[in-house]
Structure 1
Amino acid sequence: MELDDAYANVPHIPGGAQYPARWTVAAEAFRARLTAQRRAELGLPYGDGARQVFDLFHPTGTARGLCVFVHGGYWLRFDRSYWSHLAAGPLARGWAVAMPSYDLCPEVRIADITRQIARATCVLAARSEGPLAFVGHSAGGHLVARMAVPGALPADVAARLSHVMPISPVSDLRPLLQTSMNEQFQLDRMAAEAESPALMRPLPVPVTVWVGADERPVFLDQARWLASAWNAGHEIAKGRHHFDVIEALEDPKSRMVEQLLG
């Protein structure tokens, strides 16, 4: 369809098809190391479905707060197991890190996934203390932005949000109506508008929208739309594309991690 190529990342990133395998290797090694240190709890349920589970990684000592990373994949692919290594930066700064999986389209709708992330957040909040920082990539950027909208979370949980960082988010879902992916999303215009953070008013929570300077033009647009609509921080990472922009989460001294956690 008209916007299929515009929203395609793999063909426009050198070696793009190899990134998932690289993520898997790094994530497996990270989990093995944290498991050996007894700092990993894997596959904890937050709902009834097989994919409604999260991994929880603990820092050394008492956690300063909880950082929740929500993965991307156009709500169609991937799970928590690809991204474990991205917990390294927040962990080194003394934060616990949770990584939930969720059901995928077309078995569920995007609105259902939003509700699943909210449910996961409530379960995580009940077993943790202190601030909650949210970071999500691509479709995960959409999902963490949705958590910053009034009504998505109970008031007592929302009050604990310390920072929300959508990375390369899809903030306005209406253009997806012009992609073949919508055969699986099954969005109409009303449903797309109802799930578009850029069309909503946020909670009074610090938000930073992050995007790679070398991303597809539509993702630069999507990031700009959200930052403008929410009067949020807007960081454009030089030399970064859609797949490597998240690597800064591994570095506790990166500007991304410092901005997210303070």
Structure 2
Amino acid sequence: EADVSFGILFDDEKFDGNDIRRVGEEFLYIELAGHHVETWEDCEFDTIVCTDPHSYNTFKNEYSEVDFEEFADDPMMPFEYDEQWNADGEIDVLHWTQAVEELVSEGHLELSGTELDYTVTYHDPCHLGRYNDEYEAPRELITATGCTLDEMPRNRANSFCCGGGGGGLWMDFEEEPKPSEERIREALEDTDAGSGVEKFVVACPMCMTMYEDGRKTGGYEDEIEIVDIAELIVEAIGKTEEAQVEVAAD
């Protein structure tokens, strides 16, 4: 066990509001932001860990910019919070890869770096990479599982969007190939490993949706698998536990 104390909001957790804001519904975004910061006031914690880079960016960079005082007395807004949220920066906001990478580096997950032997490539999510300059934590986790990481030709700050951001998840793309199809083609043709890449690794649920779709519409279902970094970690931990059981049996 990693010995981490954590909690979740259950029914009080609503959508972070990122995509709603990006498609122009500013007041619904403020309503959601107000709900969350008011809910957090009743909780005791020092870190928020997000599973989605969009939530990570929104909580870390955008909630603190909202003028809640302007809307606190608005009868249409279901909150009374009237302060600047996290003005002193006491609450740390992390993407889950950052939190888990810290656990791995401190030895809490007991990964040896030899558990898996896949050749993989990794797609930098826009809101984790370009928006927040986090490139290392996901890569550290991938290599910590034993996988060989073969970089995409467009990576880090030059990464290419999966096509899902800004409401793209709900739009039909008329151009061909779709962004997700083009990225998978890059993985299989333009990386050093080429067709030897077994898994296309993501760190964003929206990217997972877009690339699973692109794998099907692009005709790549038999050539590559789309996986989240979390899936690699779970598999690697499973290998470690199996090895420990075998040693104990001996």
TM-score (norm 2): 0.33
**Higher strand proportion (structure 1 or 2):** 1
TM-score by length of 1: 0.32
The structure where helix makes up a greater share of residues is 2
